[in-house]
């Protein structure tokens, strides 16, 4: 099986004894938001290997400017702990990270750096824009001006909806091994599955021993589908159409960053850590609005060193009447008048009106379920 990014799966989970000790030390408390609590968990269970903590200033600069960690491993997305108030925090000391939504202690940090953020540079390099209409930029600017860096140890898992659908990298690696999957194709999504996704899934199942469908179920932006509904819609598609022995479905509770190409790299590295050998990257991966060229997320993989997971790139996938099925730009050259583009915007609109979108776009079983359970995220990062 594929090695984790950086060669070793990070695991930093406190034993019961250590946990008791840390909680008895009367450490300084840092109250963190849900997305940071989820990031802390992902660091400590190895999803973000080789990261062992929240980034210090040197690491952050290196990631923003060179898309690599100081040790030379490719890394594209800042994983930082933003704070408003740094009074009382000292490097060389430990602090407790407390989830402010429910006061649960999540992790202990060994503080090695406390620094002021250059948010403009982060926004420009990571998101390619300073526009605060961009949800990732808005999030960055709405949080604290400082960051605290240092390795962390997990005390408790954060509470979050749909946790029961998640698997740790250690667990997926074990499942892949048990099933004898030597090649595993990972599919990232934040949407309910339509027919273009299905086309990619089938290609994934042709190429690999198994397909790992791994939707993001963390915090998203207004207008995205509710995570539970996405997971259930996938289950319906799998139950009705896919060979069960070829598919594994699990959620990934990390927030969407909407960083387009850089997030495609991040998503690929994370799936490598879960034990996948291939990663599907479609058109406008992790994009939002029209901030990114739809194929920037393909090109970026040619601009960085090999990250050790094979990237399978897809262009436009649509339905063609002449070909009589779902095809792609690579497999059909018929004119627009026989083509049905598969658009999530159109699908959402039809569903919100209680109508089934055309079957060329969405399976009827999935459509009926989504009409009955139509629910979109109503507020950014909630
Ligand atoms: Zn055609």
Q: What is the CATH number of domain 16-154?
A: 3.10.400.10
Strands of 210-215's sheet, edge to edge?
Answer: 247-249, 210-215, 184-189, 278-281, 310-313
| Three-state SS at 238 | helix
**Helix (H/G/I), strand (E/B), else coil: 30:** strand
Look up tokens 């779902």; give the residue: 326
Report residue 156 as tokens: 């408790």
Tell me, in angstroms, the distance from the centre of ligand 1 to residue 360's CA: 13
CA of 194 to the centre of ligand 1 (A): 19
Say if domain 163-372 classifies as CATH 2.70.240.10: no
- What's the DSSP call for residue 230? H
Cα–Cα dist 254/251, whole Å: 9
pLDDT computed for residue 379 by the predictor: 61
**pLDDT per residue over 46-75, tens digit each?**
999 999 999 999 999 999 999 999 999 999
Q: How confident is the model at residue 382 (pLDDT cuts 50, 70, 90)?
A: very low
For the annotated catalytic residues, the residue numbers are 190-191
Q: Is the pLDDT of residue 125 over 60?
A: yes
pLDDT digits (tens, 9 = 90+) for 160-182: 999 999 999 999 999 999 999 99
- Mean pLDDT calculated for residue range 335-348: 92
**Residue ranges of the domains in the chain?**
16-154, 163-372
Amino acid 120: pLDDT: 97
Centroid of ligand 1 to alpha carbon of 238 (angstroms): 26
Query: What is the predicted pLDDT for the residue at 225?
Result: 80
Q: Residue 345's pLDDT is what?
A: 85
Shared fold status for 16-154 and 163-372: no
195 Cα–ligand 1 center, Å: 15
Q: Residue 7, by phi and psi: left (phi above 0), alpha (psi -120 to 50) or beta? A: left
- Among positive and negative, which fits the CA dihedral 8, 13, 17, 20? positive
Average pLDDT across the chain, whole number: 94
pLDDT, average across residues 266-294: 89
Q: How far is the CA of 301 from the centre of ligand 1 (A)?
A: 29
pLDDT band at 326 (very low <50, low <70, confident <90, very high): very high
């Amino acid at each position: 099986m594929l090695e984790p990014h950086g060669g070793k799966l990070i695991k930093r989970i406190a034993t019961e004894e250590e946990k008791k000790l840390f909680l008895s030390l009367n450490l300084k408390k840092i109250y963190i938001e849900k997305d940071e609590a989820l990031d802390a968990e992902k660091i400590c269970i190895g999803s973000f290997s080789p990261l062992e903590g929240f980034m210090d200033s040197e690491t952050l600069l290196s990631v923003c400017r060179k898309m690599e960690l100081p040790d030379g491993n490719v890394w594209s997305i800042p994983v930082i702990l933003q704070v408003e108030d740094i009074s009382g925090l000292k490097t060389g000391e430990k602090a407790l990270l407390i989830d402010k939504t429910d006061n649960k202690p999540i992790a202990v940090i060994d503080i090695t750096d406390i620094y002021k953020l250059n948010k403009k540079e982060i926004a420009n390099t990571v998101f390619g824009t300073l526009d605060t209409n961009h949800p990732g930029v808005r999030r960055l600017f709405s949080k604290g001006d400082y960051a605290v860096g240092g390795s962390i140890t997990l005390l408790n898992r954060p509470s979050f909806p749909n946790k029961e659908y998640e698997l740790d990298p250690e667990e997926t690696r074990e499942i892949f091994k048990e099933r004898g999957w030597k090649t595993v194709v990972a599919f990232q999504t934040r949407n309910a599955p339509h027919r273009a996704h299905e086309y990619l899934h089938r290609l994934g199942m042709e190429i690999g021993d198994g397909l790992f469908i791994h939707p993001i179920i963390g915090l998203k932006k207004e207008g995205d589908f509710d995570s539970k509904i996405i997971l259930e819609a996938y289950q319906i598609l799998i139950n009705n159409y896919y060979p069960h022995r070829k598919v594994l479905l699990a959620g990934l509770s990390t927030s969407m960053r909407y960083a387009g190409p850089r997030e495609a790299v991040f998503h690929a590295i994370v799936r490598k850590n879960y034990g996948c050998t291939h990663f599907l990257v479609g058109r406008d991966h992790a994009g939002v609005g029209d901030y990114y060229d739809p194929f920037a997320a393909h090109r970026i993989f040619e601009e960085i060193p090999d990250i050790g997971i094979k990237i399978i790139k897809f262009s436009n996938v649509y339905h063609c009447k002449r070909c009589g099925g779902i095809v792609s730009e690579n497999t059909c050259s018929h004119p627009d008048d026989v083509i049905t583009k598969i658009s999530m915007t159109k699908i959402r609109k039809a569903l919100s009106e209680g109508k089934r979108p055309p079957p060329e776009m969405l399976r009827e079983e999935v459509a009926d379920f989504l009409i009955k359970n139509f629910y979109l995220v109503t507020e950014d990062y909630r």
